[in-house]
Amino acid sequence: MKSFLKHVFATIVGLFIFSIIWVILFFAIVGVAMSGSGAVTVKDNTVFELNLKGVLVERSEEDFMNSLMTELNNAPTQIALDKIMEGIDKAATNDKIKGIYIKVDNFSASFASLQEIYGGLKKFKETGKFIVVYSDYYGNGSYYLSSIADKVYMNPQGTLALTGINISSMFFKGLLDKVGIEMQIFKVGTFKSAVEPFTQTSMSEANRLQLNTYINSIWSEVIDIVAKNRGITSDDINQYANSGGFLGEAQATVNQKFIDSLVYQSDMKTVLESLAGEGYNTLELKDMSLVTKTEKRSKNRIAVVYAIGGIDDGSKSGIDSEKISKELLKLADDDKIKAVVLRVNSPGGSAFGSEQIWHSVGVVKAKKPLVVSMGDYAASGGYYISCQADRIFAQPTTLTGSIGIFGIFPNTKGLVDKIGLKFDNVKTNKFSNFGDMYRPMTDEEKAILQKYIEQGYNLFTKRCADGRGLSQDSIKAIAEGRIYSGIDALSLGLVDELGGLNEAIAFAAQKANLDSYSIKQYPATKTMMEQLTEAFSGSVQERFIKLQLGENYQIFEAIKKAQQTSYIQALMPYTIIVK
C-alpha cells in the first residue's frame, strides 16, 4: 500500500508540474501572438527594412511554437518566402515607401527561392524606387540576390564568398556493411541515384554527370545575371572564385567592382538619409504584413494550393496525398474558384501517393484551368503530380525531372546473425513471407519485384507523355531518373515557361478570362488551438531539431529516411546539398 501511495503521489505531482508547464507555454505563445497584432499605418518617407536572416521556408503561418522555440533556444529563425514577396509588392505600390534596405545576415535559401525574390525586387526597381544592400558576409546566393540593388555595401572587414557551387552527397553503405544490413535495390533508370547512398561509397559516373550538368547550369545563370548587374564579365567572377579572392582584403572587392563601398552597418543610416531624407521612417517585414493594401476585392478567386515536402514520407511537414487530393477535389467543385495554381516544392516520395494526387489534379483540370508553379524542386513524384497541368512554370535553377522509380528492401540477416537472433516460420503459400527482412530475397522474388517496379515506371512515363503531349518513347529518352535544371527542362519540353508563382497566377487568371481576382491559399494554416494541441507531439521535436540544425537538417533528414525507406518510391536523390 505504501508503494502504491508513493506512485499515486508521484503521478499527481507529475501532472501538477505538467499543468504548470502547459499554462506557462500557453501564455508565452499567446504573448508571442499578441505582440504582432494591430494594423500599421505607413508614414511619409518610409524605408522597408528587409532583414534576410535565418532559414527560408516556402510558406508562412502564425507559427507560435516556432517563435517560442526560437526565443527560448536562440535557434535560427525562419523567414517565409510568401511574406517576403507580399512585403515587396506592398512596398512597390505604396507611394509613402521610398525604397528597400536589405540587410543580409546568415541567410540560408535555395537558388530557385532566391530567384523568386529576385523577380519581385526587379519589378520593385522598375517603379523607380531605390534598393540598397548591406552585409558583413555575402555567399553565392545572397550576393546573386544583392546584385539587383542600386548599391551593394559591405563591412570593411567583411567577406564576399563567391566560391562557385558545390554538391555534397552522403553515403551509408560503409555503415550498413559494418552492422550487417544489405539494401536490396530495385529500380528503373540509369540516373536514378537516390539508391546510391545504400549501395556505393561514392557517386556513379552517371550521377556525377547529371549533377555536374545541373550545378554548371545554375552557376552559369548566377554569374550571367551578376555580371550584367555589376557591369563586369562572367570571366571576372570565375577568376575571383578560382583565385580564392574570398580570403583576400575587402578593398579588393571594391577595386574589382563587386562591392560599391565598404562601410560599417551604423554608417548605413547616412546612406539612407541621402536617399529617403533626414528623419526617415522604417518598417520591417513583420510590420509590412500588417499594412493594408488598397485594392478592390473580387468574388472571382484563384486558389493557390501548396504541395510542400516529401509525398507520404511520414512527417507532418510533408505532403499527405490523401489530404491534398481531397483538397483538390473540393476546389474542383467550388464554383467560386475560377482557377487553381499548384505550388510544388517536393522531391517526390511514395509512387502510390503521387498517383492519387495526379488523379485529383486531372479532375480539377477537366473543370477549370490548373497551372503548376515549381519552387526549389519538383522532382520525381513532384514532377509526377505536375506533369498534366495546363502550363508549368519553373525557375531557371529549379531541380526537376528525375522521372524514375525505385524500391528498397533491407536484408538484415547479417545483423541478426551477429546478435544471435534466429527466425523460423510456417506458411500456407509460396510467397506468404514475401518481404521478410531477416533473409535475402530469392531470385524469383527479385524478378517479381523488378517487374512491378518496371510497371510503375511505365505508368509514370505514360502519365508524363500524356500530360506533356509527347510520345512515351520521347519521355523515356530523357527520363531514366535524370535531374534537370529549369532551363534544361524548358528546352526538353518538361516545363513550359521560366517564372515564379506570380507569373503562374497571372497565366491562370488569363486562361480563366479574369480581369480581377483575389487569391486564397490552401491548405488553410493551422489555428492557434491546433498548434497547441500538437505542442507535445513528434512534430515539435522535428521542428526543434530543424531550427537547431538549420540547413544541416537535410543531413539529419537523410539519415532518418534511410531508416524508414522500404517501399516503392518516386524520389529524387534526396541527400543532395547544394552550396
DSSP per-residue string spanning 185-238: EEEE-TT-GGGHHHH-SS--HHHHHHHHHHHHHHHHHHHHHHHHHHT--HHHHH
Q: Are 468 and 494 in contact (CB under 8 A)?
A: yes
Q: Torsion angle, CA of 281/284/289/293, rounded to 10 degrees?
A: 30
Q: Identify the CA nearest to 184 among candidates 481, 452, 437, 430.
A: 437
User: Could you tell me the three cell numbers for 531?
Assistant: 498548434
Q: Which of 344, 305, 349, 299 is nearest to 328 (CA)?
A: 305
pTM for the structure as a whole: 0.85
What is the Cα–Cα distance from 99 to 119, expressed in whole angstroms? 16
Question: DSSP letter at 425?
Answer: -
Cα separation, 303 vs 512, in Å, equals: 12
Q: What is the DSSP letter of 293?
A: P
Pairing of strands 405-411, 399-401: unpaired
Task: Tell me which amino acid residue 340 is.
Answer: V
Whole-angstrom Cα distance, residue 120 to residue 86? 9
Matching residue, cell 563567391: 162
For residue 14, what is its C-alpha cell? 507529475
Q: What 3-state class would DSSP assign to 320?
A: coil
All residues at 6 or more sequence positions from 565 whose CB lies less than 8 Å from its CB, including other chains:
408
- Give the SS3 label for residue 432: coil
Alpha-carbon span 313 to 330, nearest angstrom: 24
Q: How many residues belong to the chain?
A: 579
Cell triple for residue 182?
544489405
Instruction: Report CA torsion sign: 366, 371, 375, 377.
Output: positive
Strands (E), 457-544: 483-484, 497-498, 518-522
Q: Is 207 in contact with 193 (CB distance < 8 Å)?
A: yes
Alpha carbons 388 and 467: distance in angstroms, whole number:
4
Residue 113's alpha-carbon distances to 57, 160, 274, 385, in angstroms, are: 9, 21, 31, 20
Query: Which of 578, 138, 163 shows the shortest CA–CA distance to 397?
Result: 578
Spatial neighbors of 193 by CB under 8 A, at least 6 apart, are: 203, 204, 206, 207, 210, 481, 573
DSSP summary character for residue 487 = H
CA dihedral 260, 261, 263, 267 (to 10 degrees): -70
Residue type, 68: L
CA of 544: how far to CAs of 238, 504, 564, in Å? 38, 33, 20
Give the DSSP letter of residue 112: H
Show the cell assigned to 174: 560503409
Per residue, the 3-state secondary structure of 136-153, as one string, reads EEECHHHHHHHCCCCEEE
Burial of 420 (0-12, 13-18, 19+ CB in 10 A): exposed
Angle among Cα 236, 238, 241 to the nearest 5 degrees reads 110
CB atoms within 10 A of CB 328: 25
Cβ contacts of 233-242, under 8 Å, gap ≥ 24: 237/162, 238/164, 240/162, 241/162, 241/163, 241/164, 242/164
Provide the greatest CA pair distance for the chain. 86
List active site positions: 192, 380
Whether the Cβ atoms of residue 467 and residue 357 lie closer than 8 Å to each other: no
Residue with cell 502550363: 391
Query: 523 preceded by cis ω (within 30°)?
Result: yes
Digitized pLDDT (tens) for each residue of the chain, 579 residues in all: 555 455 545 555 555 555 555 555 555 555 544 455 567 889 999 999 999 999 999 987 655 455 555 444 555 588 999 999 999 999 999 999 999 999 999 899 999 999 999 999 999 999 999 999 999 999 999 999 999 999 999 999 999 999 999 988 889 999 999 999 999 999 888 888 888 988 999 999 999 999 999 999 999 999 999 999 999 999 999 999 999 988 899 999 999 999 999 999 999 999 999 999 999 999 999 999 899 876 667 889 999 999 999 998 766 678 999 999 999 999 999 999 999 999 999 999 999 999 999 999 999 999 999 999 999 999 999 999 999 999 999 999 999 999 999 888 899 999 989 999 999 999 999 999 998 999 999 999 999 999 999 999 999 999 999 999 999 999 999 999 999 999 999 999 999 999 999 999 999 999 999 999 999 999 987 655 555 555 545 455 555 555 545 555 454 454 444 444 445 666 664 444 444
Domains in the chain, CATH or no CATH each:
46-163+244-288 (3.90.226.10), 301-529+566-578 (3.90.226.10)
Calpha distance 304→104 (Å, rounded): 29
Q: Helix, strand, or coil here: 381?
A: helix
Other CB atoms within 10 Å distance of the CB of residue 68: 17
Is residue 301 a contact partner of residue 336, using CB atoms and an 8 Å limit?
A: yes
C-alpha cell at 440: 535475402
Q: Which amino acid is at 322?
A: E
Distance, CA of 391 to CA of 464 (rounded, Å): 13
Nearest Cα neighbor of 229 from 118, 370, 113 is 118
Phi, psi of 244, deg, nearest 5: 70, 30
